[in-house]
Chain A
């Protein structure tokens, strides 16, 4: 079982560059999430989606965009990368009926220099 797959695992960006973090899940989950993890700060929700075509902002959405054209895919777009976006990014998904059991990808470590 692949579960939640994120790519790339590591990336270095220059200030002002743009990139997309890919996330796909094969569990037919309706709910998907993007979190960022900073040392000592826990996980902060960036964006989430409750189904294809529906997205909403989380706690820290500035500088990011998302789309959800299919149930499986939930890419996160960084426009005009800034050093403050240096972080580890996690994509997660959850089933329609379960509250709380989020399935996480392995993370994408992004450094902006």
Chain B
């Protein structure tokens, strides 16, 4: 079945460092891909998405490009801030989910940014 694999955490960076969180997927067909973020004590919220190959999603300085050839959707940010400390989840739309909206999530990667 479809699945998402993220790099293990936690990832610890100093403020203003460059961030990459790797995400690869296995899917039948052509899923949409997403990054969600969960701040401490809160629910998940959508950070960015891409719906077809070579699309780049971006939001709040974060970017990710849908790479069909490498089945990847890596999250990047050029200069992280302490406020970016959170858990980041990569997700894909389940095969055949166009009428259900179901998502499959990776295991999450914790990011800690130190001043």
Chain A residues within CB distance 8 Å of chain B = 4, 31, 33, 35, 40-43, 45, 48, 50, 56, 58, 90, 92, 94, 98-107
Q: B102 near A45 (CB under 8 angstroms)?
A: yes
Q: When the two chains form their complex, are residues B101 and A94 in contact, meaning their CB atoms are under 8 A apart? A: yes
Given A92-B44, A99-B101, A106-B43, 18 additional A-B pairs, CB 8 A: A31-B100, A33-B101, A33-B102, A42-B4, A43-B105, A45-B103, A90-B43, A99-B32, A99-B98, A100-B49, A100-B91, A100-B93, A100-B101, A101-B49, A102-B36, A102-B101, A104-B44, A107-B43
Q: Chain A interface secondary structure, helix, strand, loop or mixed?
A: strand
A residues less than 8 Å from B49 (CB atoms) = 100-101
* Chain B residues with CB below 8 A from A99, complex form: 32, 51, 93, 97-98, 101
Question: Across the interface, do B43 and A100 meet the contact criterion of CB distance under 8 Å?
Answer: no
Question: Which residue of B is nearest A32, CB measured?
Answer: B101
Instruction: Rank and list the top 10 A-B pairs by shortest CB-CB distance, nearest first.
Output: A104-B43, A42-B107, A43-B105, A94-B101, A42-B105, A31-B101, A104-B44, A101-B46, A106-B43, A100-B34
A-side contacts of B4, CB under 8 Å: 42
CB distance from A74 to the nearest CB of B (A): 13
B 41-67 binary contact with A (CB < 8 Å = 1; else 0): 111111001010000000000000000
Please determine whether B107 and A105 come into contact, CB atoms closer than 8 angstroms.
no
A and B contact pairs by CB, cutoff 8 A, 7 listed: A4-B43, A42-B4, A42-B108, A50-B101, A100-B93, A101-B46, A107-B43
The answer for the CA separation of A45 and B108 in the assembled complex, in Å, is 15
Q: Which residue of B lies closest to A93 (CB)?
A: B101
Contacts of A100 in B (CB 8 A): 32, 34, 46, 49, 51, 91, 93, 101, 103
